[in-house]
Structure 1
C-alpha cells in the first residue's frame, strides 16, 4: 500500500465535515420522535435513502484509491458513508481489501466487473473474490460498441444469465449498469426498439438485477419512473448522479434531477443500495462530501 502521497490534512478536513454532516442527518431521522419538527423531519426521510444505505461508487475517487486504498476508505467512512461499490481492487489482495473495509466499518455490496470476469476462465476468481470481500452483486458496467445491436444485447443477456447460474449457488447475483446508449433504438426484425428493452426482456429476473444510473438514463431521455413501472422491483442498486440543465454531471443536489420524486418510488423499483457517483469530479473528496451532505439532509 502506498502511503504519504495523499494530502492527509485534506482528508482530515473533509472527514471532520463529514462526521458533522452524518450526525446532523442521523439527528434529523431520530427527531421523528420529538414533536412536530421531528415528525416533519421523519416524514422527509421517508422520501430519502436510509442513512445506512447511502454508499459511494469508488470510481468517483479512483485517483485517491490508486494512491492509498485504506486511507480513501477511511475518508469515505468519516464522511458518513456506510457502503461502497468497487471498480477494481488496485492490485491488492481480497484479504487486504476486506481488512480495510472492516477497519473502516464499511461494507461493499457490489463491484463492477467486465465480461472477462463474468465468463470463463475469470468467473470462478470473481466469485471467490466476491465471497472474500462480501459482495452480493457482480455488476457489468458497460458493453462495447460492437455489442450494441439487437443480437448483441441478446448475447449480453445470455452472458449475464449464464454468470447468474454459476453465481447463484454461492448466494451471489449478477447486475447490469446502464449508460445512455442502451436507450437508443436499434433495428430488431424490422422493428425499432431500444437496446435496453431487448436486454431486459432476455434477462432472467431470478438471476440478474438492474442497476439504474439516474444521470445517464435522464440524459438519454428515459423516464426512470416509467422504467420502475415497467420493471417493478428489478432495481436493487442505483447510481445517484445529478446533472445540470445542459446535461453535465453535477454533485447530488446541485443539479435538476427530482430526487424526492424518484425516491418516493423506491419500493416500486426495489431500490436497496444508493451509490453516489460523479465520473469526472474536480475535487473527488469535496464531491462525495457534498453529495452525502445533500442526501443525508433530505
Structure 2
C-alpha cells in the first residue's frame, strides 16, 4: 500500500492567501508542501491555477458545497453557485476531487434527512464524472449526534452512498463528535481516501448538539499535530486507503506558516506520508 501524500487546506491561511496569494503559496512550497487543498476557489479558478503553477504546487482536492448554495464556516457563509459551475472551476484548476465540507446539523437528525444527503451526493457524483471528477464529503461533528438502530448518522450516510463517493475524515471533529477515532478509521476501510490532520483539545460538548452555545473558530483550542488529544498516530496507522493527509487548523495557535510546518514535520517524522 502506498503512503498518503501531504497536503494543506488553504482555509488554514485564508487571510494570508487573500492578502497575497502568490506569497502564501510560495511560503507553503518553501516549507515543503507539493500539494494544497483549495478553498473558496469557484469564483477565480484561472487566477488560482496560475498562482499554483507559479509556486510549483498542485491542488488535487478542494472544498466547495454541492448540496447547498453556500459554504458554511465558523466565521460566516460564502455564497457558492450550482454544482456544474463548481465542477467546471475545479476541472480548470486541475483537481480530481471536489469535497463538500459541511451539511447543516438539522439535516443529519433524521433517517430521512441522512438518506436525502446520501442520494443528493450520489447524484452529484454522477454529474461530476462528466467533468472527469469525483466528489467527497468532509465531516464536522454534527454527523455524530443522531443514531439509528445503533448506527451513527455519519455511518448510515456512508452505507447509503455509492463507493465512488470519497470520504475525508476530519480527525479532530470526529473526536469532538465522541468517536473512537482509530476504530472509525478502521471501519471506514478503503472508503476513506483523505483525512484532515488536526490536533488540539476538543470542545467539552458537541458544538452542534441542540442547546449548545454557538462558537467561532477563535474559540477552538487547537495545537500542532501530535501535541493534543486527537489520537493521530493510531488513526493514521489504522487507515488502509488514505491518499491525502491534509494539514488543517480551524484556529492556528501562532504564526500559521510555522504551525503548518510543525504539523508537516509530524507527518514526515512519523513516516505517515511519502
Aligned residues: 242
Distance in 2, matches of 1:155 and 1:220, equals 21
Q: Secondary structure at the match of 2:95?
A: coil
**Structure whose residues are more often helix by fraction:** 1
CA contact (8 A) 2:182 2:231 kept: no
Distance in 2, matches of 1:70 and 1:227, equals 38
Distance in 1, matches of 2:37 and 2:258, equals 18
Match of 1:288 in 2: 260
Q: How does 1:1-298 map to 2 (within 5 A)?
A: 53-89=5-41, 91=43, 93-114=44-65, 115-116=67-68, 122-149=82-109, 150-186=111-147, 188=148, 191=149, 193-205=151-163, 207-244=164-201, 248-266=221-239, 268=240, 270-282=241-253, 283-298=255-270
Using structure 2 for the length normalisation, give the TM-score. Answer: 0.80
Alpha-carbon shift at residue 240 of structure 1 (Å): 0.3
CA contact (8 A) 2:119 2:161 kept: yes
- Deviation beyond 6 Å, 4+ runs, structure 1: none
Using structure 1 for the length normalisation, give the TM-score. Answer: 0.74
**Structure whose residues are more often strand by fraction:** 2
Distance in 2, matches of 1:168 and 1:225, equals 31
Q: Which runs of 5+ in 1 are unaligned?
A: 1-45
Worse overlay, 237-246 or 100-109: 237-246
Distance 1:231 1:90, change over 3 A: closer
Q: Which runs of 5+ in 2 are unaligned?
A: 71-79, 205-220
CA contact (8 A) 2:172 2:202 kept: no
* Structure of greater Rg: 1
CA contact (8 A) 1:49 1:263 kept: no
Distance in 2, matches of 1:64 and 1:230, equals 37
Alpha-carbon shift at residue 245 of structure 1 (Å): 7.4
Alpha-carbon shift at residue 90 of structure 1 (Å): 8.3
Distance in 2, matches of 1:227 and 1:257, equals 13
Alpha-carbon shift at residue 233 of structure 1 (Å): 0.3
